[in-house]
Amino acid sequence: MASEQHLSAIKGAKVLMVGAGGIGCELLKTLALSGFKDIHIIDMDTIEVSNLNRQFLFRQSHVGESKAKVARDAVLKFRPDISITPYHANVKDPEFNVDFFKQFNVILNGLDNLDARRHVNRLCLAAGVPLIESGTTGFLGQVTVHVKGRTECYECQTKPAPKTYPVCTISSTPSKFVHCIVWAKDLLFAKLFGDKNQQNDLNVRSSNVSSSSQQTEDVFERQIDEDIEQYGRRLYDHVFGYNIELALSNEETWRHRNRPRPIYVKDIIPTELIHENGDLDKDSIIGDSSVSAMATLGLKNPQDLWSLKENSKLFFEALKLFFLKREKEIGNLIFDKDDQLAVEFVTAAANIRASSFGIPLHSLFEAKGIAGNIVHAVATTNAIIAGLIVIEAIKVLQNNVKDYRMTYCLEHPSKKMLLMPVEPFEPNKSCYVCSETPLTLEINTHHSKLRDLVEKIVKAKLGMNLPLIMHGSVLLYEVGDDLEENEVANYAANLEKVLSELPSPITGGTILTVEDLQQELKCSINIKHREQFDEEKEPDGMILFGWTQALAVEKNYNGASTSQATSLNTEEDEELQFIPTQIGKKRKLSDNFITASSDNSCIPKETKIKRKADEVDCNNGNSDYGREKMEQ
Amino acid sequence: MDGEELTEHETALYDRQIRVWGADAQRRLSKSHILVSGLKGTVVEFCKNIVLAGVGSVTLNDDRLVTEELLSANFLIPLDENVYAGKTLAELCCDSLKDFNPMVRVSVEKGALSNFGVDFFDKFDVVVVSCCSLSTKKSVNEKCRKLSKRMAFYTVDCRDNCGEIFVDLQNYIYSKKKDDETFQCHLDYPSFVEAIAVPWKSLPRRVSKLYLAMRVMEKYEELEGRVPGETSAADLLNVQKLRKELCEAHSVSESQIPDSILQRLLEGRQEFPPVCAIIGGILGQEVIKAISGKGDPLKNFFFFDAMDGKGIIEDISEQKAQG
Ligand SMILES: [Zn+2]
């Protein structure tokens, strides 16, 4: 029965795949073998070494090339008679508009991030094209079917948001290793090597001590002709010693917490030893990305747990290498998990800080996973998920609505099942994406600016790419390439205005229309003025209703390799125990939706830092450091 | 863990999966030797998975000459007679698999699987057989069991849009971590002969219908001297007759094996690539678990049917049946 009945549906179908990563490679292969003749594939990524263990269409020699194009060529070798159209591009690019989507019979997602998934969901709804969505992490995976009006859309249920941490936890009271990593990466690394104009909360401001900002700024700058060793020791003592002393002086903070221990370099590495550090000349002819402090220090295994002393040496060595080998980049660096030296520096700094706060140290391998939000990925799960996608795609093409299933791939069986099909849910009638239910926003209209609304609600929560905000017939905000200069200036000015002082004031009772022309998504927001917000519980200073953000499950980022192995198991056990118990209550099931798949990214690679513009004060800290989990 | 450390290149290449199963498991994988016999779509999928995972070696056994039908779900070989003519399936798959991961040794072993002696199997840690007769399945399994070391033995079979995996890990001990505690777990597997001898009457009433239907098909092909999968709708009457005999012998109702399933199994000669990917994926995962000693292995049958979308584990063993 397999082929004959399916064959005609398959043969005439034109399908779009979004993503040519782990799921994408498997999917393209299975589609081609199954007889699909017209496949289009979008992926903005290029091939990396760490893809090769599962993205089997790629070889070492392809590193750096477009995934979509190489995948096409590889599949044409065994099915030369089919048509595969690759796009080395971001699915959010304007060329992929509703009309583009309309030409396909079904869209198949093999994405790795929430942002792009929401974008594709909206385009599918607008174009009226069925969407098959998928995700994997480790041995877990899922496939879901979304057909407008028949089943729920991808956004009918809220998805866990990226985990964010209060700035206070990061800058002064870390209690987990991940807090130290975020500090090392988003504060220290960014301060030393990143854009100097970026705001940075590195210096703790205690309410008792007001330090001259001029003075503290100087600590981070290497003086002209300053000996690199000298600079490193000064910096080390400041961030791991003096800053901790300063924080300790605020007794209130430590009443219910363990007091950290200031660490000074003289106690860890005697002066003469630093000079024995490393052997720079040994490999002085090296390109930028291959510079490694581990190599010059003779540290071989990234899975080893290094001592405080070793981490301190690594800190100095990495710092030195940045100045000696990569000085030109200083001031423009952004942390990248594939930048060996950056990973070494962040690992070392995080471990020294962890040591100070009595938090267990981690290996570079583990630290890299946490800092880079690396998702676990294996080939087998991707292959299974790709098979399930094709099975659903064939049903969708034949319009077998009653047979549509969402399928979960489990690590431990539930009711004897490793692959568990579940009937799809009906559309959620109050979904702001697929039904036009208005949202309600509680906000202080005399205090919040239009910028806050755009950043925190329209972009962060509603996931709009190119938003347009209207009050009645007055356009308050718009983005696009085709705007006049005076419009751009006007909108820029509006952004800085308090809501109630806009040309068309937003006050309690106002109904705003927010629209994304590319996604063809339009929603109404009823504004309710509210005077006070709880800084701890409502850090945004505004609350959106009709859109409830699920609490992010705090992930354990430990690798499976060392003494920490249990964390990974625990994390997965929790997820898996969750699924079976929820079968009865179908709705809940997709709380387990995997929003990060191991595979490929169609949005620009950047670490997300949600930051409030306000001055940061520890006792009044309200900016969050967000971490989006995606493979990069 | 004993043995040398992973090289820098291995750590980089296997980074994402080491984060799943750990460096110890990766080292064990790199020292394992796997024999694979019968290279249709599902097994090709499996080979891809374990070569990517980084096992030590894969030995391929399939002397059939390549035909278009054999390639219908095979992505290793160009669908071009000029390339494949005159070569065996194993030879062609070997060239392609080597390319997937230069760190894995892939080679071909010629000869009929049923002719290999006990000693031959001693070189391997895992044996996977497919596309072979009932008697070959039985005899290879028994040979594996005669060896002093513990072998992992698997059979896999896909027909139409469903498939079956059988697992024999003999006496399998593995450790399992839960809530920071490590448990020793012990599973006792029946051999293939022992498993299929379990009286149907003693199986759970809701046992997968595919399990019973596959036993009828296997038996039918054996009695008729057919190459596995060489059946058609014309065999239905005879298969029904055999079903009646077997059901009577086991005192179960014939309704346990509906005609619809038998028809699908008889007619569905063409492999269905999505099912090959799914079964090949599950099999890959199981073999990785067995080598690495991490994770609960399945015991001892797995079935997937695209008709209902379920992937089900069935424990078909004597103790289970009595208990
Ligand atoms: Zn919806």
Of the residues B15, B81, B175, B304, the best mutation for testing chain A's interface (the one with the most A CB atoms within 10 Å of its CB) is: B15
* In a domain? residue A554: no
Residues A284 and A403 occupy one common structural domain:
no
| Confidence check: pLDDT of B115 > 60 | yes
* In a domain? residue A366: no
Q: Which of A304, A330, A358 is the last residue of a domain?
A: A358
Residues A179 and A326 occupy one common structural domain:
yes
For A565, residues 6+ apart whose C-beta sits below 8 A from its C-beta are A558, A559, B22, B177
d(C-alpha B248, C-alpha A2), whole Å: 31
- More confident position, A613 or A353: A353
- Among the ranges given (A132-146, A415-429, A468-482, B33-47), the one the predictor scored with the smallest mean pLDDT: A468-482
- Among the ranges given (A385-394, A528-537, A556-565), the one the predictor scored with the smallest mean pLDDT: A556-565
pLDDT digit string (tens) for B246-282?
999 999 999 999 999 999 999 887 889 999 999 999 9
CB A22 within 8 A of CB A594: no
Which of the four pLDDT bands, split at 50, 70 and 90, describes residue B240?
very high
| Confidence check: pLDDT of A121 > 90 | yes
Average pLDDT over residues B155-159: 94
Which of the four pLDDT bands, split at 50, 70 and 90, describes residue A547?
low
| Confidence check: pLDDT of A578 > 50 | no
Residues A442 and A301 occupy one common structural domain:
no
CB contact under 8 A, A390 and B314: no
| Confidence check: pLDDT of B196 > 70 | yes
- Find out whether A476 is annotated in a ligand binding site: no
- The residue with tokens 């019973």 is B212
- More confident position, B91 or A597: B91
CB contact under 8 A, A50 and B308: no
Q: How close A327 comes to chain B (CA, Å)?
A: 27
Which of the four pLDDT bands, split at 50, 70 and 90, describes residue A600?
very low
Q: Which of A513, A528, A545 is the last residue of a domain?
A: A545
Nearest Cβ partner for B268 among A2, A421, A560: A2
Give the per-residue pLDDT at A160.
64
Of the spans A101-115, A566-580, B17-31, which averages the highest pLDDT?
A: A101-115
Residues A323 and A247 occupy one common structural domain:
yes
Looking at residue A490, which CATH number applies to its domain?
3.10.290.20
Lookup: tokens for A125: 């709804």
Give the per-residue pLDDT at A616.
31
CA contacts within 13 A on the Cβ side of A101: 27
What is the domain range of residue A400?
A: 4-159+376-422
CB A121 within 8 A of CB A131: yes
Give the per-residue pLDDT at A216.
56
Nearest Cβ partner for A384 among B23, B282, B308: B282
Average pLDDT over residues B220-231: 89
d(C-alpha B298, C-alpha B304), whole Å: 14
Residues A342 and A382 occupy one common structural domain:
no
Which of the four pLDDT bands, split at 50, 70 and 90, describes residue A563?
very low
DSSP 8-state class, residue A352: H
For residue A318, give the nearest of A278, A284, A353 by alpha carbon: A278
Q: Which residues of B touch A629 (CB under 8 A)?
A: none
d(C-alpha B170, C-alpha B191), whole Å: 7
The ipTM of this complex is: 0.95
d(C-alpha A293, C-alpha A312), whole Å: 12
CA of A144 from ligand 1 middle (Å) equals 13
- Find out whether A51 is annotated in a ligand binding site: yes
| Confidence check: pLDDT of B320 > 60 | no
| Confidence check: pLDDT of A449 > 90 | yes
| Confidence check: pLDDT of B93 > 90 | yes
Which of the four pLDDT bands, split at 50, 70 and 90, describes residue A142?
very high
- Find out whether A114 is annotated in a ligand binding site: yes
For chain A, the domain total comes to 3
CB contact under 8 A, A365 and B18: yes
Give the per-residue pLDDT at A272.
58
Give me the torsion for CA of A504, A507, A508, A510, rounded to 10°. 20
- Among the ranges given (A407-411, A531-535, B136-140), the one the predictor scored with the smallest mean pLDDT: A531-535
Chain B residue with minimum CA distance to A59: B100
Average pLDDT over residues A520-548: 84
Q: Which residues of B touch A569 (CB under 8 A)?
A: 177-178
Q: What are the C-alpha distances in Å from A523 to residues A113, A469, A517, A526, A547?
A: 23, 10, 12, 10, 12
Give the per-residue pLDDT at A312.
95
Chain A residue with minimum CA distance to B24: A561
Give the per-residue pLDDT at A609.
33
Residues A418 and A442 occupy one common structural domain:
no
d(C-alpha A305, C-alpha A366), whole Å: 10
Which of the four pLDDT bands, split at 50, 70 and 90, describes residue A372?
confident
Which of the four pLDDT bands, split at 50, 70 and 90, describes residue A386?
very high
CB A228 within 8 A of CB A323: yes
Chain B residue with minimum CA distance to A382: B281
Lookup: tokens for B9: 């290149």
Residue A25 known to be catalytic:
no
Q: Which residues pair with A163 in a beta bridge?
A: A627
Give the per-residue pLDDT at A590.
38
* In a domain? residue A127: yes
Give the per-residue pLDDT at A607.
32
- More confident position, A33 or A619: A33
- Find out whether A21 is annotated in a ligand binding site: yes
Q: Which residues of B touch A384 (CB under 8 A)?
A: 277-278, 281-282
Continuous segment of H or E residues that includes residue A380? helix A379-397
| Confidence check: pLDDT of B313 > 70 | yes
β-pairing, B162-168 vs A474-478, is unpaired
For residue A625, give the nearest of A176, A179, A195, A196 by alpha carbon: A179
CA of A156 from ligand 1 middle (Å) equals 3
For A625, residues 6+ apart whose C-beta sits below 8 A from its C-beta are A164, A165, A167, A170, A182, A186, A609, A610, A611
| Confidence check: pLDDT of A593 > 50 | no
Q: How close B117 comes to chain A (CA, Å)?
A: 32
| Other CB atoms within 10 Å distance of the CB of residue A505 | 13
Residues A354 and A389 occupy one common structural domain:
no
Average pLDDT over residues B194-202: 94
Give the per-residue pLDDT at B157.
93
Please give the single-letter amino acid code of residue A385.
I
Give the per-residue pLDDT at A5.
67
- More confident position, B79 or B120: B120
* In a domain? residue A224: yes
CA of A399 from ligand 1 middle (Å) equals 20
| Confidence check: pLDDT of A244 > 50 | yes
Residues A487 and A408 occupy one common structural domain:
no
* In a domain? residue A526: yes
Give the per-residue pLDDT at A500.
92
CA of A400 from ligand 1 middle (Å) equals 21
Q: How close A351 comes to chain B (CA, Å)?
A: 20
Q: What are the C-alpha distances in Å from A527 to residues A439, B43, B294?
A: 9, 60, 54
- More confident position, B283 or A551: B283
Residues A395 and A349 occupy one common structural domain:
no
Lookup: tokens for B34: 């796997």
For residue B21, give the nearest of A145, A302, A565 by alpha carbon: A565
d(C-alpha A155, C-alpha A439), whole Å: 14
* In a domain? residue A234: yes
Give the per-residue pLDDT at A284.
44
Average pLDDT over residues B234-252: 95
Which of the four pLDDT bands, split at 50, 70 and 90, describes residue A587?
very low
| Confidence check: pLDDT of A293 > 50 | yes
Domain ranges in chain B are: 8-194+271-315, 197-267
CB contact under 8 A, A559 and B22: yes
- More confident position, B302 or A624: B302
* CATH C-level class of B8-194+271-315: alpha beta
Chain B residue with minimum CA distance to A391: B274
* In a domain? residue A571: no
DSSP 8-state class, residue A242: I
For residue B47, give the nearest of B11, B82, B73 by alpha carbon: B73
* In a domain? residue A364: no
Residues A333 and A194 occupy one common structural domain:
yes
Nearest Cβ partner for B309 among A78, A421, A566: A421
| Confidence check: pLDDT of A322 > 90 | yes
3-state SS of chain B? CCCCCCCHHHHHHCHHHHHHHHHHHHHHHHCCEEEEECCCHHHHHHHHHHHHHCCCEEEEECCCECCCCCCCCCCCCCCCHHHHCCCEHHHHHHHHHHHHCCCCEEEECCCCHHHCCHHHHCCCCEEEEECCCHHHHHHHHHHHHHCCCCCEEEEEEEECCEEEEEEECCEEEEEEEECCEEEEEEEECCCHHHHHHCCHHHCCCCCCHHHHHHHHHHHHHHHHCCCCCCCCHHHHHHHHHHHHHHHHHCCCCHHHCCHHHHHHHHHCCCCCHHHHHHHHHHHHHHHHHHHHCCCCCCCCEEEEECCCCEEEEECCCHHHHHC
- Find out whether A43 is annotated in a ligand binding site: yes
- More confident position, A170 or A567: A170
| Other CB atoms within 10 Å distance of the CB of residue A610 | 17
CB contact under 8 A, A383 and B53: no
Give the per-residue pLDDT at A604.
29
Average pLDDT over residues B213-238: 92
Which of the four pLDDT bands, split at 50, 70 and 90, describes residue A558?
very low
Residues A302 and A179 occupy one common structural domain:
yes
Residues A392 and A325 occupy one common structural domain:
no
